[in-house]
Amino acid sequence: MPHQPDTTPRSGLTEDQAKARLAADGFNELPHTKRRSPLRIVLDVLREPMLALLVAGGAVYLLLGSREEALILLAFACMSVGITVVQEARTERLLEALRDLTSPRALVIRGGERIRIAGREVARGDLIVLSEGDRVPADALLLEAQALSADESLLTGEAVPVRKLAGPATDARPGGEDQPMVYSGSLIVRGTAIAVVTATGPASEIGRIGTSLNKLETETPHLQRQMRKLVVVFASLGAAVSVAVVVLYGVLRGGWLDGVLAGIAVGMSMLPEEFPMVLAVFMAVGAWRISKVRVLTRRASAIETLGAASVLCTDKTGTLTENRMTITALRLADGTSAVVGPVLPAAFRELAAAGVMASAPEPFDPMEKAFHSLAKADRRDGETLPGAGRTLIRTYAIGADLLAMSQAWEVPRGGWQVAAKGAPEAVGDLCQLDGPARAAMTAQVDQMAGAGLRVLGVAEAAFDGPNLPDSQNAFAFRFLGLVGLSDPLRPSVPDAVAQCRSAGIRVIMITGDYPATAQAIAAEAGLQGDRVITGPELAGMPDADLASAVQNVTIFARIMPEQKLRIVTALKAAGAVVAMTGDGVNDAPSLKAAHKRDDGLVG
């Protein structure tokens, strides 16, 4: 959907204009279902066929005068309902509290003054002020931006932040580099900006995902469908036999009243009251046991299909991985490599120290946090972090013409020490590498990128002039080496994948990340399969070809949210019972479409 052009004056909206737009567009909040009351939860629970059969059986026994049997059945039914209602009501209260905690506040310019307001009160056309650590309250077009980077993993599933540049509005989707749009829910990890809000609430990118959820009908759980069939079969059989007994008794003996009583007795003897009792208690106890490990079961029916799943579709970032960048490989300019461990070899300490000096002292950027973590983990007795004793004087921001940044530090003995990091080719330009050196660096970059690593170049320079130059190109940089970063796999994942495989569950990874990174993580996790289907390839694939491909392919990369939904739909059409897990908003449509999903189990 095209974004509206900027027509807001630089003084921002007035309070009256903001109120008028809020009245026309609604508050800046996502659509969500109303909180279920305890009565609604009880009614939903009683709709379960096996529990309804249990209650019906108890009522019939009570009418026939068998109080002991009736009380036993009704007691188990009440216990099951009570446990389920308490558990689900508790979950609803906690989810409501989480919504309140995650509601961001926004700094806006209204009437020429900067004021802090609740995120839900941001209106279309508001000017918002963004800086490091801010959560973007609404989709907005950048009017001014200084070295701005945003983490859009909530929408894209990619852990690496993307650069943002001010410019005219585009129809680009989240996740692209050098785009002029920032999106609701993303996190500013570097720089500052002023932006004009173009879409709020349901009209925003995250809101459109929420709106699409309302168009999806949640499927009846697999076990529940089987139980309904069983109930219908037994009810039909019992009714047929009861009618036959009544007719035969009345015709042969002439006692129609006695025949009706005999028919009811025979029908009740065929009622499988043990089935609903055992299953109702099993589900209730299952919800209680899961709560003991600090997992909230929003609906008891979410437990039913845990054992029936045949395919598990999983996101990568934040699900298989830890959703944080970690430095895992270092390479010096001469090609010497090191795998990062508890203690760095002495030859690599200069490279690591320069990486920290090229990062913000208190970073929000995941990659800069990784440099600080590396230096902190490698501290030795009596040492201080690199950069101690120096004063940060100036930062040369990354730009569209040079994808590298530098920071100049004043040293106690006089002069400046400058450290740079960025795209390897940009750092190579800063260092003015000659042909052979650049070719060697490119070969190393290709090798590290092939292993699924995000590669940065690092350089340093000394400067003794009286004043710092206006451009980082004026420094005589020396190339120090390359740093490889990755989003590390969770330690428990390989064992979990092996357990799924032993249980007959096929695991499929669906991610928005690049194919090389997806393959590297899949290999670490123990996922089998050499073929990778990318989003562009899937977009041109007919449904019949996709239905055939999902039978064998286990890795899908560069996938958009609507494509995740299409994959899940293809698996279901092939007869698979699909489980889906993911932690991003971009996973929501496919989560709701799956048979079993982790939105029913909230950890």
CATH of residue 499's domain is: 3.40.50.1000
Is residue 178 annotated as a catalytic residue, yes or no? Answer: no
Answer yes or no: are the C-beta atoms of 579 and 313 closer than 8 Å.
Answer: yes
The answer to whether residues 453 and 540 belong to one domain is no
The answer to whether residues 477 and 348 belong to one domain is yes
Q: Is residue 258 part of a domain?
A: no
The answer to whether residues 470 and 589 belong to one domain is no
Q: Does 177 score more than 90 pLDDT?
A: no
The answer to whether residues 346 and 382 belong to one domain is yes
The answer to whether residues 331 and 456 belong to one domain is yes
Can you list the alpha helix ranges (DSSP code H) found in 455-514? Answer: 493-502
Q: Is residue 182 part of a domain?
A: yes
Q: Is residue 588 part of a domain?
A: yes
Determine the pLDDT at residue 283: 67
Q: What is the pLDDT of residues 262-276, one digit of tens each?
A: 776 676 666 665 565
The answer to whether residues 481 and 408 belong to one domain is yes
Determine the pLDDT at residue 591: 47
Q: Which of 486, 508, 535 is the last residue of a domain?
A: 486
- Can you tell me the distance from the alpha carbon of 524 to that of 503, in angstroms, rounded to the nearest whole number? 20
Tell me the whole-structure pTM to 2 decimals. 0.64
The answer to whether residues 443 and 344 belong to one domain is yes
Three-class SS of 89-145? HHHHHHHHHHHHHCCCEEEEEECCEEEEEEHHHCCCCCEEEEECCCECCCEEEEEEE
What total of structural domains would you count in the chain?
3
Determine the pLDDT at residue 152: 85
**What's the rounded mean pLDDT across residues 232-256?**
82
Q: Is residue 558 part of a domain?
A: yes
Q: How confident is the model at residue 333 (pLDDT cuts 50, 70, 90)?
A: very high
The answer to whether residues 501 and 425 belong to one domain is no
Q: Does 210 score more than 70 pLDDT?
A: no
Here the CATH number for the domain that contains residue 114 is 2.70.150.10
The answer to whether residues 478 and 342 belong to one domain is yes
**What's the rounded mean pLDDT across residues 111-116?**
92
Query: Considering the chain, what is the average pLDDT of its residues?
Result: 80
Q: Which of 180, 197, 214 is the last residue of a domain?
A: 214
Maximum average pLDDT range among 232-246, 278-292, 374-388, 577-591: 232-246
Q: Which of 315, 429, 587, 598 is catalytic?
A: 315
**What's the rounded mean pLDDT across residues 472-479?**
94
The answer to whether residues 417 and 481 belong to one domain is yes
Q: How confident is the model at residue 558 (pLDDT cuts 50, 70, 90)?
A: confident
Q: Is residue 350 part of a domain?
A: yes
Q: How confident is the model at residue 102 (pLDDT cuts 50, 70, 90)?
A: very low
Q: Is residue 401 part of a domain?
A: yes
Q: Is residue 15 part of a domain?
A: no
Tell me how crowded residue 142 is: count the other CB atoms within 10 A of its CB: 21
The answer to whether residues 514 and 447 belong to one domain is no
User: 76-80, 371-375, 417-421, 481-485: lowest mean pLDDT where?
Assistant: 76-80
- 220 or 570: which leads in pLDDT: 570
**What's the rounded mean pLDDT across residues 362-380?**
81
Q: What is the pLDDT of residues 334-349, one digit of tens each?
A: 989 987 877 788 889 8
Q: Which of 455, 486, 517 is the last residue of a domain?
A: 486
Q: How confident is the model at residue 252 (pLDDT cuts 50, 70, 90)?
A: confident
State which residues form the domain around 182: 104-214
The answer to whether residues 363 and 479 belong to one domain is yes
Here the CATH number for the domain that contains residue 387 is 3.40.1110.10
**What's the rounded mean pLDDT across residues 141-156?**
86
Q: Is residue 468 part of a domain?
A: yes
